[in-house]
Amino acid sequence: TAILTAGASGKRYALPHATIHMHPAGGGAQGYTEDVRIAYREQERLQTQLFHLVGKHTGHDWREIEEFFRRDRFMNAVEAKEYGLVDDVLGDTDDIVILDSDELKVRTIQETNSSKNGKG
């Protein structure tokens, strides 16, 4: 996600059926207590750096990014564009399948847009 988002402004693209996955930094450490502390601090530094980077390229505050991506987050291409991770979706998006988490129902982008506009 960091590489995708940090691309040249106006040239960050996703294909219609792409899935963009953002997650907090992860890893593990073992060994001496101080070495584990050092590894933990480095994980925190890397994660904060990632949140700042994504915030810079999406226009969101880094703390908002931190909250939004506290857990794994999967987005389709349209959602990634709406959030500012990409600039455009290359191709037809009408048949993108999404999970409506409020209703736990699968529908297409076209169906979702129709219901938002009072057509469905």
- pLDDT at residue number 32: 96
- pLDDT at residue number 116: 67
Contact 11, 87 (CB under 8 A): yes
Q: Which domains does the chain have, with CATH numbers?
A: 2-91 (3.90.226.10)
> Partners of 107 in the beta sheet?
98
Pure H helices in the chain: 2-5, 33-58, 62-68, 77-83, 109-116
Tally of residues, the chain: 120
Contact 47, 24 (CB under 8 A): yes
User: Taking the alpha carbons of 75, 78, 81, 86 in that order, is the dihedral positive or negative?
Assistant: positive
What string of pLDDT tens digits covers the 120 residues of the chain? 788 888 999 999 999 999 999 888 888 889 999 999 999 999 999 999 999 999 999 999 999 999 988 888 899 999 999 999 999 999 998 888 777 666 656 666 666 666 666 655
- pLDDT at residue number 118: 64
The answer for residues whose C-beta is within 8 angstroms of residue 8's C-beta and 6 or more apart is none
DSSP-derived secondary structure letter, 64 = H
